[in-house]
């Protein structure tokens, strides 16, 4: 399958919103937590407090990972400012729709920020006739590669 078709198919599979595990790392410390994520324009968005550990780690090291089901997404995170800024209006509308409680509780707080994650490598763990394989969607090279899982090593 061609890269663009597979990438688009994967984002359709993810849907408009999902809770995912976000892992961040800096200063020899890696942390992970569940996040309420919005998928827009082939990127993944979430919001948090600028003073939280994940934000501090992203400011030092923008390379992050997300995980949901059998999908692992490596990406580069960018802090996009307050949810109330005009540039984040599309995210806010979706976040309000799908995660209303979090929107009502946190979005207007002064320390809240929006994080945009651009995927760089997506790995899916799959099966074909009970035989495991991994599918790699390389967003930088715009290539799809399948590797059979070698059993018995």
Choice among 34-38, 83-87, 127-131 with the minimum mean pLDDT: 127-131
Question: What percentage of the chain reaches a pLDDT higher than 70?
Answer: 98
Rounded distance between C-alpha atoms, residue 126 and residue 122, angstroms: 13
Query: pTM score, two decimals?
Result: 0.94
Question: If you average pLDDT over every residue of the chain, what do you get?
Answer: 96
| Nearest-10 Cα torsion for 127, 129, 132, 138 | -50
Region 1-9: mean pLDDT is: 93
- Residue 152's pLDDT is what? 67
Assigned CATH topology for domain 3-148: Pnp Oxidase; Chain A (2.30.110)
For the chain, give every domain's residue range: 3-148
Reduce the DSSP state of residue 77 to 3 states and report it: strand
Nearest to 122 by CA among 153, 89, 146, 149: 146
pLDDT recorded at residue 149? 80
pLDDT at 60 over 80: yes
């Amino acid at each position: 399958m061609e890269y663009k078709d597979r990438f688009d198919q994967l984002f359709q599979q993810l849907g408009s919103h999902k809770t995912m595990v976000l892992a961040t790392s800096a200063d020899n410390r890696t942390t992970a937590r569940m996040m309420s994520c919005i998928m827009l324009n082939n990127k993944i968005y979430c919001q948090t407090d600028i003073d939280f550990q994940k934000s501090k780690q992203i400011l030092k090291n923008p390379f992050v990972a997300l995980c949901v089901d059998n999908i692992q997404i490596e990406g580069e995170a960018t802090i996009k400012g307050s949810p109330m800024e005009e540039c984040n209006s599309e995210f806010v509308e979706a976040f309000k729709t799908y995660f209303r409680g979090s929107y009502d509780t946190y979005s207007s707080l002064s320390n809240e920020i929006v994080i945009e994650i651009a995927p760089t490598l997506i790995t899916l763990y799959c099966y074909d006739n009970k035989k495991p394989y991994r599918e790699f969607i390389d967003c930088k090279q715009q290539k799809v590669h399948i590797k059979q899982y070698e059993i018995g090593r």
